[in-house]
Structure 1
């Protein structure tokens, strides 16, 4: 607790210490520009004579700054004000604001997996899995979604590009990309802001930003944040659930146990205190600098640190045991996360002449992590200390380290030209290592080994080389043709990787493997898989598009584009194939009522080949690992998206997002398996796994037939010149499957609606504001993932990951 308070005080102190002079002289200082900053005090009062219009939005989806309404790409652009008002704290929080986007946290590795337009793989839940939706921060690729733009710290905007972005954005942007644009320093301006929030579950949040004008050519910006709340999942008391000693003794005897070795279940092995599951305790800091010695050259540099000491998100029983609360679990493994992420990002832009710009974008990052997770989820209460079907299973990232570097040089045209073009070279590399342990014991951790293993990968390398180019021919003032292509060469290599499995040697004590134990035959383990191997593949992705103006306020476009994600190596050293996606799309963007209403829409059809599905599986010899399968035939998806923003009168604003995915056919896959779904049928030997099922013809998960988000806010102008603004956000979507298995009602989220409300007061000079918020007003229990346990043949107990319960609080902000 002391650390949390110190971090909170430190975050606020950065601003308060430096703001004394600023508050005294603010009337003489220009205020910050950009979407996150208020007007200057002198200009704070609204100009009644000037009719309001929607803000002009500038995006970078085509690797150059263009107005959103003139960019022929399906982009959702969210500015800092929207992110703040909707309390978007993580990548997962974006989903309600972006059409066709879904995301979930996965428990044992506590990773965030994303889906766009029905395509994603939320079973690829290891920390080193490649996504179909790529994340970029200031144009730099970030392989780890849980570290990207830590806490969305001081983000100026978030751009979600839907559809393949393989030509300009490259790595793993198979069905889309998310680019977070952090706020850059401003030369010549001193300003800042601070925010504080408190809420239920002992939530405390603090953020602060200060912009420092060092000289006429140099400025710096410092941003810090701390967000924390207690876990949502309470600990169940084992007393009253554990059978009596006589019942335990009878169960032990019935299971064939020797009465002389009987021992009662130790209730002290269950966790009843300390940090709960689904807690947050995260901090971030960034120092950025801008050097602009002249009009032709600029250099942006940012150093960022992200620290996570929260806890993983726990699987909950869909139908709790009698007498137990929904948000609770019987826990025998305490939650733990210790993660640190460091990132250095650099961008240099040099205008060589009036029509030519050279840019160099580089990034370096390191992500370290350790965690423990109760994979058995407390679903089955043991009948004796060594009796199944109850099991103790602790999934543990004992240690992991991921190092990433990337470099991009691009040369582009500037100004008005008949042909706008960009060409570039790109290189990215990863060097990763991980040790992941899984002890599984019958009954309790005092029981007998059901299986246990250790996956040790000391060196996994990735090297990706690319060259790209794209050109737009401005045929006339109203019609444009665009073509682009990218050549990518990917290489992956695993060195020294071993999977160790339990050898069932009766002479070795049966105790759970500890982090300090290196597996070997002497302590009961044999090598189960040799994971050394190499993978390589080259691919060309391309884009063809036409777009033309419809009057002065309209744009229509049609495009065909392709996306690509490399294959790789799985446990045992075997390879799996790369993915290819072809996307056909038509769309339109229109402005009406003199800029008071915008309406952007798209219809798409996707043909996806070799869709990669991965999951933890059991091999025929009883050992476990991560298995990959490529879907045969084609995965076919079509859908639609529409975004509308409107100013109604002088004081009301409405945003409406609608999307739907009526067709989402997975394709053909005879042998799909996952240890998260116990009780699947036995598999034939040629499948390579012990249990599986035929998922051919099933529907993709996370792809609702229809989804809608409606946001409304009204500004009340008070007599003192201040404003009071209520804001309501509602989200509705039809039922969706939660896995490719399509296993009935428990494996889906029913149609649901969630709502958020907030109220915000701003004082007349816009120096400070105060507000309150309630999220998930109706306390909806919304599933984002599922799995099941099998206590016996044909019997299943289901668990799910859930979006947070109802949260509420108050917040306060200060501008200077």
Structure 2
């Protein structure tokens, strides 16, 4: 066991434990039945048949903004209920990916956030204020625009729905290739109940979580849920190798240094103890209120507070230096993360009459954060205090995001010849941030190689939309759906700029830090030209045409053409970039077989991706740096997905997901400082590579997830349930550059094990994750000296949780 930060153990935080996911792939009623469409209330799993029957319970989803049975919903969707989330120990979106076909999530160290790829399309730069994701995240139907916020820690969830394919009509911009909707558990009127859990594990893991449902008279209820999770970092610190003083002096003089300026390397510049990279220390609490104001008016409102004091992941040498371990680093920047977010979410439902309902969904969120990160990863040991290696820190000095959104929905209720809904939407963001990059030769006491500060005091986003969708129920079996959404976007950058070291001999060469304001004269920095000021206007119409036909009460087929889009915007220098769009052609089937014992859902799709927004950090010809975004021709993606859920006997459950994906880039000349690339023949980019025709990153051609569990019944009604979950995928690239083995995750199999004992309302659950201790890369780079580094999924971990429901 590695040691954890002692501060983490001093905190007694309110209850709640790790819970989230397993893939209840295709799940529906034992036999299809006509279901009247109700208002889009939060997804609730409803069982058809008793828990000990051979029938797989029905799952109700809200993918169409109505509550519909999963097997009757003509969309490629994976619905994961609370029990599955708990069995799979889901804490973040990264824990969800194996349960959904074609889903990937990558860790991005310098910001400590997770970015998502679905069906071969994603954006690794969606960790910054400049780049939006292609996979949109929603909590209770409310868009969460920034990945650092409350979606970082998942708790007290009723279900997660992953909608695959463009969702631009009902779910809006940035759902280019899909959407993830997390449904929190809602209060229940008239019920006093709750649960409390706690757990321990290796890396000094401690976790606690709980939830309490409190009735407030006959018309209201309150739910209080909280969670705290912590563990040490996975990455040890290396000691600075002993370098004889004579060798240091010789290296310094060979680098052009004067004898009088020589100093020995200060070993105290390198981190030896304290918080390690890859540590978790996260806390959240949520208060939810359900109030039936009058019989026809219902209000759900919640407040959520989230705090993160963990550390980012780390770029590790793919080939460790002699005498060192993969899970260790020579670091000269102590890792920190400080993030706080507050969110209010509200849903007001008014049933006007039995055929008509009006909904108002609103959200307000505020986020602030900072972080420090060792970007160079200690890939080269310095030969003197100013030669040999490099010191580079990527420091988010401050970032603040504020956003609010409002949606008004009017929709039909009950079974009608035409089921319809209309909506109006408005959302706005206001962001500011400062991001520092000091790069020094040798050590941070050496000489400036390059350094700069990126300051964006005001960036705004405003998006408004109108949408409508209708389904013509031509017969009981045949249904035709059409929908349109018009979106208008405006983005502004005001007062922002990058500030680059000007080489002034009168200013001490020290790393840029919060105590230095590069905007002030005499600090050694000059503003980039042009500034980031600018305004972007854009609009887009997205649509859907879909037909679905019920072959019989247990089998449905569907075909659809749908579009999604992501807004254009502004980049460094105030330069605009265009919107990207995706048109998806899909056919699918949903089947309930063997009297409800087996569910099989399939989808075949072809996606035409246009104007792909490729974002990367680059060096400009004048020596300044920034994040550049260019619109590539796009990509073409072809894929096949299958989800199978089977209750083999009353005590045996099996779930299988399969995905084949072929994602190929269109024309793109890409540049990035994260990779060692050749000189660029294209004006305006120092180094680049023609990646036209390359495979998209994070898109293995084939992936599979198999889960099996068996229930052993003991005396007194107790049960023991062992389970196994195995994920396999073929090799995949980690960047668009496809630069060889260092830029590639080879094919791998990863297995998790669990064992759960339940007696009455008390339970204990033991688990081992990544049983074979596989090293699985999620991102890679070789921008320093051509040496490959990577970030990895966690190594093998084990632990247990125990809790009681009451």
Measured against the shorter chain, the TM-score band is: over 0.9
Task: Identify which of 768, 774, 780 aligns with 1:780.
Answer: 774
Instruction: Give SS of 2:782's match.
Output: strand
Aligned twin of 1:731: 727
Which residues in structure 2 correspond to 1:151-300 (within 5 Å)?
151-238=153-240, 241-300=241-300
**Alpha-carbon distance in structure 2 between the residues aligned to 1:80 and 1:771:** 15
1:478 aligns with 2:468: no
1:254 Cα shift?
Answer: 1.1
Task: Identify which of 741, 747, 751 aligns with 2:743.
Answer: 747
Aligned twin of 2:801: 811
Check conservation: 1:36, 1:80, Cα contact below 8 A. no
Which residues in structure 2 correspond to 1:128-167 (within 5 Å)?
129-167=131-169
1:541 Cα shift?
Answer: 0.2
**Alpha-carbon distance in structure 2 between the residues aligned to 1:55 and 1:273:** 51
1:597 aligns with 2:602: no
1:2 Cα shift?
Answer: 6.8
1:3 Cα shift?
Answer: 5.4
1:58 aligns with 2:68: no
Task: Identify which of 668, 672, 679 aligns with 1:674.
Answer: 672
Instruction: Give SS of 1:465's match.
Output: strand
Aligned twin of 1:315: 315
TM-superposition CA deviations, 1:470-527 (whole Å, max 9, x none): 0000000100000000000000000000110010112211111111210034011000
**Alpha-carbon distance in structure 2 between the residues aligned to 1:335 and 1:591:** 50
**Alpha-carbon distance in structure 2 between the residues aligned to 1:117 and 1:547:** 22
Q: 1:345 to 1:434 in 2, by over 3 A?
A: same
**Alpha-carbon distance in structure 1 between the residues aligned to 2:532 and 2:321:** 41
TM-superposition CA deviations, 1:153-192 (whole Å, max 9, x none): 2110000000000000002100000000000000000000
TM-superposition CA deviations, 1:397-427 (whole Å, max 9, x none): 1011000100000100000100000000000
Instruction: Give SS of 2:286's match.
Output: strand
1:573 aligns with 2:592: no
Which residues in structure 2 correspond to 1:413-562 (within 5 Å)?
413-519=412-518, 520-529=520-529, 530-562=531-563
TM-superposition CA deviations, 1:660-708 (whole Å, max 9, x none): 11x31111012x111111x311123x43121111111111011111000
Which residues in structure 2 correspond to 1:65-84 (within 5 Å)?
65-84=67-86
**Alpha-carbon distance in structure 2 between the residues aligned to 1:701 and 1:88:** 24
Task: Identify which of 710, 714, 720 aligns with 1:714.
Answer: 710
Instruction: Give SS of 2:772's match.
Output: coil
**Alpha-carbon distance in structure 2 between the residues aligned to 1:621 and 1:542:** 44
**Alpha-carbon distance in structure 1 between the residues aligned to 2:624 and 2:151:** 37
1:286 Cα shift?
Answer: 0.2
Which residues in structure 2 correspond to 1:585-734 (within 5 Å)?
585-632=586-633, 634-661=634-661, 663-670=662-669, 672-677=670-675, 679-684=676-681, 686-734=682-730
**Alpha-carbon distance in structure 2 between the residues aligned to 1:9 and 1:459:** 35
Check conservation: 1:396, 1:437, Cα contact below 8 A. yes
**Alpha-carbon distance in structure 2 between the residues aligned to 1:374 and 1:47:** 54
1:8 aligns with 2:12: yes
Aligned twin of 2:23: none
**Alpha-carbon distance in structure 2 between the residues aligned to 1:469 and 1:194:** 43
Check conservation: 1:160, 1:177, Cα contact below 8 A. yes
Instruction: Give SS of 1:207's match.
Output: strand
**Alpha-carbon distance in structure 1 between the residues aligned to 2:227 and 2:152:** 9
Q: 1:738 to 1:697 in 2, by over 3 A?
A: same
**Alpha-carbon distance in structure 2 between the residues aligned to 1:494 and 1:151:** 30
Aligned twin of 2:119: 117
Aligned twin of 1:16: none
Q: 1:52 to 1:6 in 2, by over 3 A?
A: farther
1:149 Cα shift?
Answer: 3.8
1:730 Cα shift?
Answer: 0.2
Aligned twin of 1:402: 401
1:37 Cα shift?
Answer: 11
Check conservation: 1:118, 1:700, Cα contact below 8 A. yes
Instruction: Give SS of 1:247's match.
Output: helix
**Alpha-carbon distance in structure 2 between the residues aligned to 1:191 and 1:2:** 34
Mean Cα deviation higher: 522-531 or 359-368: 522-531
TM-superposition CA deviations, 1:255-286 (whole Å, max 9, x none): 11111111111111000100000000000000
**Alpha-carbon distance in structure 2 between the residues aligned to 1:295 and 1:153:** 30
**Alpha-carbon distance in structure 1 between the residues aligned to 2:495 and 2:579:** 24
1:353 Cα shift?
Answer: 0.4
Check conservation: 2:379, 2:784, Cα contact below 8 A. no
TM-superposition CA deviations, 1:98-119 (whole Å, max 9, x none): 0000011101111211000000
Instruction: Give SS of 1:371's match.
Output: strand
Instruction: Give SS of 1:184's match.
Output: coil
1:798 aligns with 2:767: no
**Alpha-carbon distance in structure 2 between the residues aligned to 1:810 and 1:280:** 17
Task: Identify which of 749, 756, 759 aligns with 2:755.
Answer: 759
TM-superposition CA deviations, 1:105-142 (whole Å, max 9, x none): 10111121100000001144325521000000000000
**Alpha-carbon distance in structure 2 between the residues aligned to 1:225 and 1:47:** 31
1:769 aligns with 2:751: no
Mean Cα deviation higher: 2-11 or 88-97: 2-11
Q: 1:12 to 1:5 in 2, by over 3 A?
A: farther
Check conservation: 1:771, 1:811, Cα contact below 8 A. yes
Check conservation: 2:43, 2:61, Cα contact below 8 A. no
Mean Cα deviation higher: 511-520 or 699-708: 511-520
**Alpha-carbon distance in structure 2 between the residues aligned to 1:146 and 1:38:** 33
1:719 Cα shift?
Answer: 2.1
Check conservation: 2:173, 2:564, Cα contact below 8 A. no
1:9 Cα shift?
Answer: 5.0
**Alpha-carbon distance in structure 2 between the residues aligned to 1:465 and 1:654:** 44
Check conservation: 2:437, 2:453, Cα contact below 8 A. yes
Normalising by the residue count of structure 2, what TM-score does the alignment of the two structures yield? 0.94
Check conservation: 1:413, 1:422, Cα contact below 8 A. yes
Normalising by the residue count of structure 1, what TM-score does the alignment of the two structures yield? 0.93
Which runs of 5 or more residues in structure 2 are unaligned? 18-41
Structure with the bigger RCO (C-alpha within 8 Å, sep 6+) is: 2
**Alpha-carbon distance in structure 2 between the residues aligned to 1:179 and 1:81:** 17
1:145 Cα shift?
Answer: 2.1
**Alpha-carbon distance in structure 1 between the residues aligned to 2:400 and 2:324:** 39
Check conservation: 1:109, 1:127, Cα contact below 8 A. no
Aligned residues: 776
Aligned twin of 1:351: 351
Check conservation: 1:8, 1:205, Cα contact below 8 A. no
**Alpha-carbon distance in structure 2 between the residues aligned to 1:259 and 1:135:** 58
Instruction: Give SS of 1:687's match.
Output: coil
1:151 Cα shift?
Answer: 1.8
Q: 1:652 to 1:784 in 2, by over 3 A?
A: same
Q: 1:123 to 1:55 in 2, by over 3 A?
A: same
